[in-house]
Structure 1
Amino acid sequence: MTDEDLTIDDEIVARARIHAREVLCDHDLEIDRASLEWEVTTRARRRAGACRWNASREVATIVLTRQAYERYEWETFAGVVRHELVHAWEFQQYGESGHGSRFREQAARLEAPRHCETFSEPRYVLRCLASDCDWSARRHQASKPVKSPDQYRCGSCGSDIEVEHADSGRAWTSASGFGGTKAALGDDW
């Protein structure tokens, strides 16, 4: 393979592996690197990384998102790599992983963020309609609450919610409002 044959995905994996090796050496985190695989995805829309565990093979696969790599500064993306390394460590040591106290302790040692920031703007914003509540949620896909907000309630106070199409600013509170907005926006949806 020549330098011309290398892709951005190859660059992402190479930089991530080098960073992982440095982190593991500097922080004495016991990860079996032979049981650690790397992938790059272009499908993710909000998460910069993920770690999947294959229990039958006892292999952790760190999946990094190309769009996040392209948008973040290296230090931010390196934080994503460290975050996913903690998940890989938990999977290899305990067969499970989450964001609990064990994760937080190791993430602090590696100076890894507990949660990785999203790298894209949401398509939809859900908001509480109560005047004294500031609850909101972001969505990247037309989930059930986006399509039928009248079937759901505020996550904080239980009041009715509305959904806003982020690009257009148009909002709706029902399934028919969703359909009407989608039809009205046409190609701008």
Structure 2
Amino acid sequence: MISTRAQRTAGATKYDPANGEITISLASISLAWDAFEQHGWEQFSSTVRHELIHAWQYHEFGEADHGRTFDRWTDMLNTTQHCERFKSPNWWLICEECGGQLPRFQRSKVVKQPENYSCGDCGGSLRVEEATE
């Protein structure tokens, strides 16, 4: 499946527990080509292997994450736990307490009203900064 809305990742794996269907979505062709041109075949093919691990997790366990079952396959499949971002965000959410930074690509509710949300790691207040890239 090809997504025309993907902005921060080159791929995603989804599982429908109702019918057991596992779908691996790759970013739109233009974004996929941008990722390929920016990072090369090795990085982009690593993303595909990364998503295949998630597909295996869904098949075997009905859920997927980047935990221990994921980690045990990364070396064997020559991939990483987190794929490199291939598009710069438009905004950064920054925690005032722990300094954590989360990229944001769309003007979502949390970008518009960060005072209504808190950091998922420490509960601190959030502020929004426009990305400079």
TM-score normalised by the chain length of structure 2: 0.78
Cα shift at 1:156: 5.8
Contact 2:10 2:35 in 1 (8 A): no
Cα shift at 1:167: 5.1
Cα shift at 1:84: 0.8
Relative contact order, higher structure (CA 8 A, sep 6+): 2
Please state if 1:45 is matched with 2:10.
no
Secondary structure of the corresponding residue to residue 41 of structure 1: coil
Cα distance in 2 for partners of 1:116, 1:79 equals: 8
Higher-Rg structure is 1
Cα shift at 1:116: 1.2
Cα shift at 1:127: 2.5
Secondary structure of the corresponding residue to residue 75 of structure 2: helix
Distance 1:157 1:76, change over 3 A: same
Distance 1:147 1:94, change over 3 A: same
Cα shift at 1:147: 0.9
Q: Give the one of 165, 168, 186 matched to 2:130.
A: 165
Secondary structure of the corresponding residue to residue 109 of structure 1: coil
- Which residue does the alignment assign to 1:60? 22
- Structure 2 gaps of 5+ residues are none
Q: Give the one of 80, 84, 89 matched to 1:122.
A: 89
- Which residue does the alignment assign to 1:105? 72
Secondary structure of the corresponding residue to residue 44 of structure 2: helix
Cα shift at 1:89: 1.4
Contact 2:7 2:105 in 1 (8 A): yes
Cα distance in 1 for partners of 2:56, 2:119 equals: 36
- Structure 1 gaps of 5+ residues are 1-38, 169-189
- Which residue does the alignment assign to 2:50? 83
Residue identity over aligned pairs, in percent, reads: 40
Contact 2:35 2:44 in 1 (8 A): no
Higher helix share: 1
TM-score normalised by the chain length of structure 1: 0.58
Cα distance in 2 for partners of 1:110, 1:167 equals: 35
Please state if 1:145 is matched with 2:110.
yes
Cα distance in 2 for partners of 1:53, 1:107 equals: 20
Q: Give the one of 93, 96, 116 matched to 2:63.
A: 96
